[in-house]
Structure 1
Amino acid sequence: MMNIMHPALRRLDLNLLPVFDAIYRHRSVRLAADELAMSTSALSHALSRLRMTLNDPLFFREGHRMSPSVYAAQLAPSIASALSFLNQELTPQPEFDAASSTESLQIGITDFTALCIFPALMHKLQAAAPGLRFELRYLPHSPALTELLAGEVDLALGFSTPEESRHPELEEIGWFEDEYVVICNARRTRLTLEDYLVARHLVVTPWNEKQGVLDVRLEQLGYTRHIAIKTPSMLSAPFIVAESDLLMAIPRYAAEKLVAAAELRIFALPFSIPRFEVKIYSHKRSGQRGATRWLQEALQMLVQNSIKASTAAGGSRREGRVI
Structure 2
Amino acid sequence: MMNIMHPTLRRLDLNLLPVFDAIYRHSSVRLAADELAMSTSALSHALSRLRITLNDPLFYREGHRMCPSVYATQLAPAIASTLKFLNHELTPQPEFEASVSTESLQIAITDFTAFCIFPALMHKLQHEAPGLRLELRYLPHSPALTELLAGEVDLALGFSTSDDIRHPELDEISWFEDEYVVISNTRRTQLTLEDYLAARHLVVTPWNEKQGVLDLQLEQMGHTRQIAIKTPSMLSAPFIVAQSDLLMAIPRYAAEKLVPATDIRIFPLPFAIRPFEVKIYSHKRSGKRGVTHWLKAQLHMLADEIHSTQ
Can you give the 5+ residue segments of structure 1 that lack an aligned partner in the other structure?
313-323
- Greater shift in the superposed pair: 41-50 or 116-125: 41-50
What pairs up with 1:107-186 in 2 under 5 angstroms?
Answer: 107-186=107-186
What pairs up with 1:38-53 in 2 under 5 angstroms?
Answer: 38-53=38-53
The code of the aligned residue for 1:48 comes to S
CA distance in 2, matches of 1:81, 1:258: 61
Q: Which residue of 1 aligns with 2:291?
A: 291
The code of the aligned residue for 2:228 comes to A
Residues 15/90 of structure 1: CA separation in 2 closer, same or farther (3 Å cut)? same
TM-score (norm 2): 0.95
Give yes or no for contact 1:287–1:293 (8 Å, CA) kept in 2: no
Shift of 1:161: 4.4
Q: Which residue of 2 aligns with 1:67?
A: 67
Shift of 1:178: 0.4
What pairs up with 1:137-286 in 2 under 5 angstroms?
Answer: 137-286=137-286
Residues 287/219 of structure 1: CA separation in 2 closer, same or farther (3 Å cut)? farther
CA distance in 2, matches of 1:175, 1:300: 6
Q: Which residue of 2 aligns with 1:88?
A: 88
CA distance in 2, matches of 1:161, 1:170: 19
Which digits, 9 at most, give the CA deviation of each residue in 1:56-78, with x for residues without a partner? 21111000110112221222122
Shift of 1:258: 2.0
CA distance in 2, matches of 1:22, 1:57: 16
Which digits, 9 at most, give the CA deviation of each residue in 1:183-233, with x for residues without a partner? 112222221111111111010011111100000111111111000111111
Q: Does 1:308 align with 2:307?
A: yes
CA distance in 2, matches of 1:278, 1:172: 10
CA distance in 2, matches of 1:192, 1:182: 11
CA distance in 2, matches of 1:138, 1:83: 43
Give yes or no for contact 2:154–2:288 (8 Å, CA) kept in 1: no
CA distance in 2, matches of 1:172, 1:209: 22
CA distance in 2, matches of 1:29, 1:41: 9
CA distance in 2, matches of 1:22, 1:169: 43
- Greater shift in the superposed pair: 124-133 or 161-170: 161-170
Shift of 1:287: 8.3
The code of the aligned residue for 1:64 comes to H
Q: Does 1:101 align with 2:107?
A: no
Which digits, 9 at most, give the CA deviation of each residue in 1:68-117, with x for residues without a partner? 12221222122112111111111111111000001111111111001000
Shift of 1:120: 0.5
Give yes or no for contact 1:100–1:131 (8 Å, CA) kept in 2: yes
CA distance in 2, matches of 1:309, 1:42: 64
CA distance in 2, matches of 1:288, 1:239: 39
CA distance in 2, matches of 1:163, 1:89: 41
SS in 1 for 2:230: strand
% of aligned pairs identical?
Answer: 82
Which digits, 9 at most, give the CA deviation of each residue in 1:211-258, with x for residues without a partner? 000001111111110001111111111121122111110001111122
- Greater shift in the superposed pair: 266-275 or 160-169: 160-169
Give yes or no for contact 2:161–2:212 (8 Å, CA) kept in 1: no
